[in-house]
Chain A
Amino acid sequence: MLSGGLGGPAGHDAPRILIVDDDPNLLVLLADQLRADGYEIQTARDGEEALRRLRTAWPDLLIIDMMMPRMDGLSLAREIKGRADLPIIVLSAIDAGDSKADLLEEVAEDYVTKPYHYPELRARINRVLRRLGDKVPRQSLVLGPDLTLDLHRREATVGSEIVQLTPTESRLLYALAANLGQTVTTDTLLARGWAETEDADPSYVWVTMRRLRQKVEVDPNRPVHVQTVRGVGYRLVATDPGPGEPARG
């Protein structure tokens, strides 16, 4: 039932998801829907209960509402992210243009608005779960004198300038950074950047990578960090340290 290569690490039977929402109807309904698709579901009615549950069991993914009594989604997301890089999907009735939603979007991996379309929510869950096992530094990733990535803030520092990355660009860079120096296939990037329901094709990857290069390369025509491996995929490369470093024979 889990479509499209749910790439969890070996030993994971079913992905574990903790749903935090104050609407009991939704908790029951969404838990039913996800259980029917083979996920292992836990629920919490508010942020405090969620934090209590996190003490005993660590899920693979959290789905949290934004407006909840006692502790709102933003505080909960920050609290959790302060402890670990646990993926979070926000499921909220507040549309993405809201100022608070903006803040939450910066912390969370994805943002889905209510009323949700179940197949789409499931596709987004799967996309986030594909990054399980990836190790990307939580702090700045210095790739060379002219490029530093801060993927947890969706930022890149190019030269001395800070550029904002779109959610898709950050997802692609996350996948590339987790395999630094190695080629990541276009298909893998496609599965990491887009949900199945988005009907994306490889041209999305090509064009997005081209736009990304315009953003993060000092000279986009002679890319240093984001390299194309013709016919296969892409590779993120850290350059040698500055010219001051003595060469080793």
Chain B
Amino acid sequence: MAELEPRATVGDETPTLEDLTAEEPRGDAGVRFALGLSFRTRLTIALVAAAIIPLAAFGILVLILDPTASQTGTIGRVLLFILVVAATSGILLAYLLAADLTAPLRAIAAAVDRASAGDLSTPIVVPGEDELARLADSHNRLAADLERRNRELGRILQAIQSGSPHDSPEFIAGRAGTDARSAFGMIDAYVLLVDPAQIPEEERIPGESLPIRAVLRGGTEELGVLVGHLPATRLWERADQDLLELYASEVAVAIRNAELFARVESQNAQLLELDAAKDDFLRGVSHNLQTPLTSIRAYADQIGRDRPDKRLGIIAEQTDRLSRMVRQLLTVTRLDSGALHPRPEVVSLAHPTRRAWEALAAADVPFRLDDRAAGWLAVADVDQLDQVLWALLDNAVKYGQRTAVTVEISPEPDTRRVRLTISDEGPGVAEPDRARLFRRFERGADRTADDGSGLGLYVSRELCRAMDGDLVLEPHVAGRGASFSIYLPGEPPEDG
């Protein structure tokens, strides 16, 4: 039976099996060849050929050597009959034999298909000791190994997923040892967070428990080493070592993450502390500056009520200015840390405008309020609105060079907003200054440094925006001064 030679020849177990699985990537049943004939058909043909060719040769030889036999007819017919019977039984036998020989191969192919589909638990049973039986055995062993490693991998994945970024590196290391022990069936396993070079490799003594190790690699860094022992009977192959090293690198990543997380946490805590310290500091500054100003202001008011004096008015106005500047500075720090929560209430803009103007005590500057709100109310935080109005009116007086200041209030029903425009009749804003006017600590180029903090417009715009509004510099109109507009959410009037 030399025809059993093609690839199916079972001499060397592993490569053959690999060939078989490699040839069936699409999962077709049976082993096919280039001609399209199955292995069984080819084997049948080969066996038939092997049985019939000598027989036919014998018949032909007889006919040639004994020419009379062909004439007698009987011998010829007998010969023909024998040939037909031999051929028929030969084909039948050959088919049965081929079927018997290829059955284990088919079983193996089907098992490999099952294995590749994920079913590793059904072993192939091929009786006997021949090459096919050995092939089936190695498949069964491979399937068992695969299944075991799958199980290990499953446990490893579970172990990795159960981690939390809140765990400390030591905790992760401790748990990783326990997890490795149960996942790989080790006698003992530890993760040591030290330089792996410090832990000498153990020698392997036959018959004793098998030492294994894997380095915890996180990137290029070696964070530690996983060491442990396996039962002496346990096989430990390249694939097992690969899996262990994969696990070790996952543990390394988890430890690295935990360290980073802990660092971020502690930095966060520090920032919160700093923030609280800053709040305390600002609170102290505010308290210590505003408390004496409160007394000065209140005494000036009280004395002024008993004995009216212009100088007391100046004291009151200047104290007010000073306390507003303190407040403005505090507002800037609040804006920076995002800790500004406006409390929007409905308010008619005319009243706070008039109050802010009175607080400025600029009696020598002509002031006109043109209220065309037609019942529309703005929605704003009254305290913050007061800061904005005061800063804008103060600017109008200062940079308008004490020319007339006009405030115009009008609704914008389309956008459901209310607009308030403050204009002076001074020189206006120079072109190069327009773009940088709203930046922090910016003043117009020709404005002297002792005029205010340079924060007024920046704070005002940010406050308006915090109230869902805006502050804009209106385009320059020839012959007119600077003109700023506040836009705030508006509410149309309602009939009572």
Using a CB–CB cutoff of 8 Å, the interface residues on chain A facing chain B are 23, 25-26, 29-30, 32-33, 67, 93-100, 102, 113-116, 118, 166-168, 186, 198-208, 210-211, 231
On whether the beta carbons of A207 and B334 are closer than 8 Å, the reply is no
Q: B468-496: which have CB < 8 Å to A? A: 491, 493-496
Bound together, the chains give a CA A189 to CA B279 distance in angstroms of: 37
On whether the beta carbons of A115 and B298 are closer than 8 Å, the reply is yes
On whether the beta carbons of B345 and A168 are closer than 8 Å, the reply is yes
* Given A93-B291, A203-B377, A98:B283 Cβ within 8 A: yes
What B residues does A30 contact at CB under 8 A?
298
Segment of B201-209, B213-221, B225-233, B323-331 engaged in the interface with chain A: B323-331
Check if B319 is an interface residue, CB within 8 A of chain A.
yes
Chain A contact residues: over half helix, strand or loop, or mixed? helix
Bound together, the chains give a CA A66 to CA B70 distance in angstroms of: 135
On whether the beta carbons of A67 and B287 are closer than 8 Å, the reply is yes
Q: A94-B287, A98-B282, A204-B347 are in contact. List 5 more A-B contacts (CB 8 A).
A: A67-B284, A93-B290, A94-B283, A198-B382, A204-B346
Residue B494 contacts which of A97, A198, A201, A203 (CB distance < 8 angstroms)? A203
* Given A29-B298, A97-B340, A207:B494 Cβ within 8 A: yes
Residue A102 contacts which of B297, B330, B341, B375 (CB distance < 8 angstroms)? B341
On whether the beta carbons of A115 and B279 are closer than 8 Å, the reply is no
B493 to A, closest residue via Cβ = A203
Bound together, the chains give a CA A23 to CA B319 distance in angstroms of: 18
* Given A97-B331, A115-B323, A208-B345, A26:B286 Cβ within 8 A: no
Q: Can you show 22 pairs from A to B with CB atoms below 8 A apart? A: A23-B295, A26-B291, A26-B294, A26-B295, A30-B298, A94-B283, A94-B287, A95-B286, A95-B330, A96-B343, A97-B341, A99-B339, A100-B279, A113-B383, A115-B297, A115-B319, A118-B301, A204-B346, A204-B347, A204-B377, A205-B496, A208-B346
On whether the beta carbons of B286 and A207 are closer than 8 Å, the reply is no
What A residues does B327 contact at CB under 8 A?
95
Check if B236 is an interface residue, CB within 8 A of chain A.
no
Q: Give per-residue flags for B366-386: 1 if the beta carbon is below 8 A from chain A beta carbons, else 0.
A: 000000000101010011000
What B residues does A29 contact at CB under 8 A?
295, 298-299, 302
For chain B, which range describes its interface: under 10, 10 to 19, 20 to 34, or 35 or more residues? 35 or more
Bound together, the chains give a CA A73 to CA B348 distance in angstroms of: 33
Check if B351 is an interface residue, CB within 8 A of chain A.
yes
Q: Looking at the assembled complex, report how far the CB atom of A157 sits from the nearest CB atom of chain B, in whole angstroms.
A: 20
Check if B412 is an interface residue, CB within 8 A of chain A.
no
What A residues does B323 contact at CB under 8 A?
115
What A residues does B279 contact at CB under 8 A?
98-100
Check if B344 is an interface residue, CB within 8 A of chain A.
yes
Residue A33 contacts which of B282, B302, B382 (CB distance < 8 angstroms)? B302
Check if B320 is an interface residue, CB within 8 A of chain A.
yes
* Given A115-B294, A168-B345, A207-B346, A100:B283 Cβ within 8 A: yes
Bound together, the chains give a CA A32 to CA B302 distance in angstroms of: 10
Check if B293 is an interface residue, CB within 8 A of chain A.
yes
Q: B308-343: which have CB < 8 Å to A? A: 319-320, 323, 327, 330-331, 334, 339-341, 343
What B residues does A23 contact at CB under 8 A?
291, 294-295
On whether the beta carbons of B351 and A97 are closer than 8 Å, the reply is no
Bound together, the chains give a CA A204 to CA B383 distance in angstroms of: 17
- 8 A-B pairs with least C-beta separation: A93-B290, A115-B294, A206-B494, A114-B294, A115-B297, A199-B351, A25-B295, A93-B287
What B residues does A186 contact at CB under 8 A?
496
Bound together, the chains give a CA A114 to CA B298 distance in angstroms of: 10
Q: Give per-residue flags for B87-128: 1 if the beta carbon is below 8 A from chain A beta carbons, else 0.
A: 000000000000000000000000000000000000000000
Q: Looking at the assembled complex, report how far the CB atom of A62 sits from the nearest CB atom of chain B, in whole angstroms.
A: 18
Q: Looking at the assembled complex, report how far the CB atom of B489 sits from the nearest CB atom of chain A, in whole angstroms.
A: 11
Residue B496 contacts which of A96, A116, A206 (CB distance < 8 angstroms)? A206
Residue A115 contacts which of B290, B377, B382 (CB distance < 8 angstroms)? B290
On whether the beta carbons of B302 and A94 are closer than 8 Å, the reply is no
A197 to B, closest residue via Cβ = B355
B289 to A, closest residue via Cβ = A93
Bound together, the chains give a CA A107 to CA B88 distance in angstroms of: 108
On whether the beta carbons of A116 and B294 are closer than 8 Å, the reply is yes
On whether the beta carbons of A210 and B290 are closer than 8 Å, the reply is no
What A residues does B291 contact at CB under 8 A?
23, 26, 93, 114
Q: Looking at the assembled complex, report how far the CB atom of B459 sits from the nearest CB atom of chain A, in whole angstroms.
A: 12
Bound together, the chains give a CA A118 to CA B301 distance in angstroms of: 9
Bound together, the chains give a CA A118 to CA B287 distance in angstroms of: 19
Q: Give per-residue flags for B2-40: 1 if the beta carbon is below 8 A from chain A beta carbons, else 0.
A: 000000000000000000000000000000000000000
Bound together, the chains give a CA A33 to CA B283 distance in angstroms of: 27
On whether the beta carbons of A97 and B330 are closer than 8 Å, the reply is yes
Q: Looking at the assembled complex, report how far the CB atom of B391 sits from the nearest CB atom of chain A, in whole angstroms.
A: 15
What B residues does A25 contact at CB under 8 A?
295
| Most interface-central of B279, B283, B331, B495 (chain A CB within 10 A) | B283
Bound together, the chains give a CA A130 to CA B339 distance in angstroms of: 33
Q: Looking at the assembled complex, report how far the CB atom of A38 sits from the nearest CB atom of chain B, in whole angstroms.
A: 16
